């Protein structure tokens, strides 16, 4: 069982994590951060395997993965 944490103020809503996640764990949320970006959120955390692909692709270190 794994967990992905989103640091919302770092996220720029680029979607690279969403595109790479093999398990469709992530999606664009409906809340904008200070900078006005609608940041990602997890839809169903239970699906996360902790493979960290999203973190590897995230250009802004907005994701932290734990296992």
Partner 1 sequence: MIDKILLAGFGGQGVMFIGKVMAYAGMLSDSQVCWIPSYGPEMRGGTANCSVIISDEEINSPVIDTADVGIVLNQPSYEKFITLIKPGGVLVVNSSIVEAAASRTDITIIRVPASEIANDLGKANLANMVCLGALLSSLNLINNISIKKAVETIVGSKKPELCQLNLAAVNKGIEYSVC
Partner 2 sequence: MQKVFTRPKGLTELPFHYCPGCTHGIIHRLIGEVLDELNIIEDTIGVAPVGCAGFSLDFFSCDFVGAAHGRAQAVATGIKRALPDKLVFTYQGDGDISAIGTSHAIHVAARSEKITSIMVNNAVFGMTGGQMAPTTLSGQVTTTSPYGRDSAAFGNPIDLPKIIATMDGAAYVAAVSADSPKNIIAAKKAIKKAFQVQQLGLGFAFVSVLSTCPTNWGLSPVESIKWLQQNMLPIYQMGELKVNKEVEAI
Q: Give the binding site for partner 2 (CB under 8 A).
A: 1-3, 9-10, 12-16, 19-20, 37, 50, 52-53, 55-61, 63-67
CA–CA distance, 50 with 37 (Å, rounded to integer): 25
Residue 44 has, within 13 A of its CA and on its CB side, a CA count of 5
Site string for ligand SF4, 2-41 (x = CB under 6 A): --x------xxxxxxx---x-x-xx-------------x-
CB closer to partner 1 out of 33 and 52:
33
DSSP 19-34: HH-TT--EEEEEEE-T
């Amino acid at each position: 069982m794994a967990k992905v944490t989103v640091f919302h103020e770092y996220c720029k809503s680029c979607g690279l994590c969403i595109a790479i996640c093999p398990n469709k764990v992530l999606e664009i949320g409906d809340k904008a951060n200070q900078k006005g970006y609608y940041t990602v959120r997890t839809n169903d955390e239970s699906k996360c395997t902790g493979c960290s692909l999203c973190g590897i692709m995230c250009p802004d270190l907005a994701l932290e993965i734990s296992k």
